[in-house]
Amino acid sequence: MGQIATPATGAEKTRTALDRAVIRFAGDSGDGMQLTGEQFTTESAWAGNDLATLPNFPAEIRAPAGTLFGVSSFQLQFGSQRVYTPGDRLDCLVAMNPAALKVHLRDLKTGGLLIVNTPAFDKRNLDKAGYATNPLDDPTLAERYRLHKVDMTGLTHEAIKDLPLNTKEKDRTKNFFALGLVSWIYTRPLEPTLDWITKRFAKNKDIAEANTRVLKAGHAFGETAEIFGEHYAVEPAEMTPGLYRAMTGNRALAWGLLAAAQRSKLPVVYGAYPITPASDILHELALHKRFRVRTIQAEDEIAAVTAAIGASFGGAIGVTASSGPGIALKSEGIGLAVTAELPLVVLNIQRAGPSTGMPTKTEQADLMQALYGRNSEAPVVVLAPATPGDCFYIAYEAVRLAAKYMVPVLVLSDGFLANGSEPWLIPDVTTLPPIEIQFRTEREGFFPYLRDSATLARPWVRPGTPGLEHRIGGIEKQDVTGNISYDPDNHDHMVRTRAEKVRRVAQEIPPTSINGPATGDLLVVGWGGTYGSITAAVEQAQTAGKSVASIHLRHLNPLPPDLGHILREYRKVLVPEINSGQLVRVLRAEYLVDAVGFNRVRGLPLPSEEIYEAINQLLGSTP
Amino acid sequence: MSPSEAGAKEAPKYTKKDFESDQDVRWCPGCGDYAILSAVQKTMPDLGIPKENIVFISGIGCSSRFPYYMNTYGFHTIHGRAPAIATGLRVARPELKIFVVTGDGDGLSIGGNHMLHVLRRNVNLTILLFNNRIYGLTKGQYSPTSELGKVTKSTPVGSADRPVNPLSFALGCGATFVARTVDRNIPHMDEMLKRAAAHKGTGFVEILQNCNVYNDLAWNVIYDRESKVQHELRLEHGKPLLFGPPDDRRALIMQGVTPKVVRAKDVPESTLWIHDETNVNAAKLLADLFAPDFPIPVGVLTAVEAPVYEDLILQQEQKAISERGPGDIAKLLTSGDTWKIS
């Protein structure tokens, strides 16, 4: 084993200013990497940086220690300018064991900072990671990267040797040594983490003391160890003034529903069956009963959606959520809501498929399922949030549209948005558009399928309303009266009417915002969680003087009314997606434009570098 | 007052006619469903519930056309899912009186899972399961209650599936009210409907029903006058389990843990099995019995009290609101860790 650095005092340290940095903490599932990353994120938010995060963890709850598939990581990018993505290549990698090094080293930039916990590189762990020899002994590692071999385990134990904790408990705090050290390297404030420790371990003073000491020990080690010749500062970013909080996509969806419950003055009935990565929405909503959110952990996905439909029939806001496999099970239920013309919100937190696929990895390959994945003609409204914080607005909008048009609304989030977080400017909720619910109570002239002339919505009648007793169902019905009808012309009319009702939602869509020139060589069109990657790549191309613009669709059905016009203002159209080319097919079919796809389906966000390359390639030049 | 009783109001005086919808009834002539529809419409005025607060929910199948013929609120949904839809509706609107109408295929095959869970949750609603031991709407395939070896279009040399017993199934799921009645016994149907509708929690009623087209007289053992006298065991709370013709009364007794049929006059009165609706274990034994070796129990097998699902959910909500006030999204958004950028 190589030389291990020891602290020394009085070393002079230089501080270098950076625009941005990309850091990844990687270790065993049990090493607390998610917590370390989250705390580092909070510290960076306090420092006033813009940031984006990418948690990445195995689906196994307690994956065997030391194995490659048991590696858990947390990546974030923070900067003094707008940060759109968690970053492609790493400036700094913290590897707590050999498996973490093996899995993640390839993402570290040449010359990047590599910090390893040396005691974890023992025979057993090296074997598990498939290393024949210790990679730390290979001199090329230190030639390629700025390698720092730190005895984190030993230094952690030394810092808390007098505390009455057992070895395992002491061992468990070493992630805070890593956090303290990296916090020093990037000049992060420790206060938020110290606050967190105090609150989290209020009932266990020894654990609180241990974590505090180890965090400070890691920080002091950076300050004093001779190996760290310099450290970095990332100035606060220019951000819209206001009050901010960190927001993940799943929490934002849940809170958007709470906002909708409050504004509509209706209870939300949320039917869900646990599934990764959607379950956190259920957990979050279950905490907020005061908003009249009633969660039903249903017996299966079908019961989850049908319970929501039953609630909507009763005049509440019926919501269900799942991921792709669960949405497949719900499709018959969604069809029922289409023909019964009831409001329903369906959240799909997309994950890599098909079938079980890779449950904890992201993908956006359920667009066709959302648009067409039901028997017969069953159009629904489809929305997609662009960022974790945008999930709040999209959930609220989904409820508003579902109730106004008496139609199911599908929301396509994904694993990246669900678990990723961003600094989120807290909105003034009074500026949200009202959700005006008007239940029909007037008996005169009532028919269950009498339609509003502007929206084509049928009346929403709460059972319990005297004189309006009526029956609805899945069988085709005569328009207006709602009576069962097998009349061929009526069926054709109803198919068209249900489609037209969804099309009319286009009148709700604001003008499309264009990032870049209104006309030019290339338009990049994206949707969903790729917003950050696309925007970063497009702005890089714009900085390089390219005639490139981008638009990001939040409405996928109906599409924005101005989209056809915008597409024709550019010579070429590029559509990056984490699927094999779904939106690109829709655009080609709808608008007869020669749009080109850029597709990677790796279970990871699209690297903006690769989108940048694709832009240049399509423009016929090299970067 | 429990949350589910909130908003109750007095009902006007209704007649059967008030519950007849304007739709033509489209079951086959001679179908047992007509008698059930008539019994339900006739029972409704006695429930004392305003018509607008009554909802009929069904899945798919002949029985599931039922809501169209009731002049109440109704929702004819998708195959097997009525219990789940009804659960969502109850959670949203606990003041409504909900009836789920289903059949042996809808309720025990495609919807078996939902049936299990609505019963264990004890959602406050009434389930009418029409059991005709056959698939009618799809034209005559065997059902999950068809006898082993049943010859149908889909099983030309006999089915290989053992049947499920709806009563045993319901009791196994933890049902708090389980009863059986027969479509050809209107007064008894009325009585069972009223009992089930008044039950707090899930009231499960199996109605032996005749499909005269695909499985005619499947229940002849209890339709035929002579056979009925021999086999029908009327369950009455607090009364001994006696059945058979007056000149040859038989008693159902317990021998160890096994039910046994004996001549009533051969056993002392003290050994008779007295029916107790609150004894769920006894109900489980009764549920399995059937002709020809045993009598056919008809009536309320069990009626016990247990927490009601939506009551608990609403109590949690009311507790949260009374302790901390109604939710305020503006406050929630600014709670916890926030930071200001100026």
Q: Which long-range contacts (CB under 8 A, 24 or more apart) does B246-253 make?
A: B250/B295, B252/B289, B252/B294, B252/B295
CB–CB of B88 and A192 under 8 A? no
CB–CB of B340 and A242 under 8 A? yes
State how far the Cα of A4 lies from the Cα of A149, in Å rounded to an integer. 6
Residue B96, amino acid: L
- Residues in B closer than 8 angstroms to A306, CB to CB, are 77-78, 81, 84-85, 88
pLDDT for residue B9 = 66
State how far the Cα of A326 lies from the Cα of A304, in Å rounded to an integer. 10
CB–CB of B317 and A271 under 8 A? no
Tens of pLDDT along B15-39? 999 999 999 999 999 999 999 999 9
Question: How far B210 CA lies from chain A's nearest CA (Å)?
Answer: 25
| φ, ψ dihedrals at A239, nearest 5° | -130, 155
CB–CB of A472 and B74 under 8 A? yes
Q: pTM for this one?
A: 0.92
Tens of pLDDT along B117-139? 999 999 999 999 999 999 999 99
Whether residue B282 has pLDDT greater than 80: yes
Of residues B51, B85, B326, nearest to A290 (C-beta): B326
CATH 3.40.50.970 corresponds to the domain A245-431? yes
Q: Which domains, ranges and CATH numbers included, belong to chain B?
A: 16-239+275-317 (3.40.50.970), 241-274 (no CATH)
pLDDT for residue A195 = 94
State how far the Cα of A428 lies from the Cα of A243, in Å rounded to an integer. 10
State how far the Cα of A92 lies from the Cα of A18, in Å rounded to an integer. 13
Tens of pLDDT along B138-151? 999 999 999 999 99
Tens of pLDDT along A340-356? 999 999 999 999 999 99
Q: What H or E segment, with its residue span, contains residue A330? A: helix A324-340
Which CATH code for domain A520-619? 3.40.50.920
Whether residue A622 has pLDDT greater than 80: no
- Nearest chain B residue to A257 by CA distance is B329
Which CATH code for domain A14-234? 3.40.920.10
- Residues in A closer than 8 angstroms to B61, CB to CB, are none
Other Cβ atoms closer than 10 A to A601: 15
DSSP letters along A483-507, please? -B---HHHHHHHHHHHHHHHHGGGG
**B207: helix, strand or coil:** strand
Region B276-294 average pLDDT: 97
pLDDT for residue A2 = 37
pLDDT for residue B8 = 55
Identify the residue with better confidence: B257 or A599. Answer: A599
CB–CB of A255 and B329 under 8 A? yes
pLDDT for residue A65 = 87
Of residues A239, A427, A463, nearest to B93 (C-beta): A463
Identify the residue with better confidence: B241 or A239. Answer: B241
Of residues A261, A310, A473, nearest to B87 (C-beta): A310
Tens of pLDDT along B163-215? 999 999 999 999 999 999 999 999 999 999 999 999 999 999 999 999 999 99
Other Cβ atoms closer than 10 A to B293: 7
- Residues in A closer than 8 angstroms to B325, CB to CB, are 290
CB–CB of B333 and A336 under 8 A? no
Topology match between the domains A14-234 and A245-431: no
- Residues in A closer than 8 angstroms to B89, CB to CB, are 310-311, 313-314, 463
Whether residue B340 has pLDDT greater than 60: yes
Tens of pLDDT along A243-261? 999 999 999 999 999 999 9
Domain residue limits, chain A: 14-234, 245-431, 520-619
- Residues in A closer than 8 angstroms to B60, CB to CB, are 474
Region B303-316 average pLDDT: 98
- Residues in B closer than 8 angstroms to A239, CB to CB, are 341
Of residues A42, A294, A471, nearest to B67 (C-beta): A471
Tens of pLDDT along A43-57? 999 899 999 999 988
Distance of CA A168 to the CA centre of its chain: 34
DSSP letters along A71-99, please? EEEEEEEEESS---SS-SSEEEEEESSHH
Calculate what percentage of chain B has a pLDDT beyond 70: 97
- Nearest chain A residue to B94 by CA distance is A314
Q: Where residue B321 falls among pLDDT bands split at 50, 70, 90?
A: very high
Q: Where residue A61 falls among pLDDT bands split at 50, 70, 90?
A: confident
pLDDT for residue B7 = 47
- Residues in A closer than 8 angstroms to B333, CB to CB, are 245, 255, 426-427, 429
Mean residue pLDDT of chain A comes to: 95
- Nearest chain A residue to B324 by CA distance is A290
pLDDT for residue A6 = 42
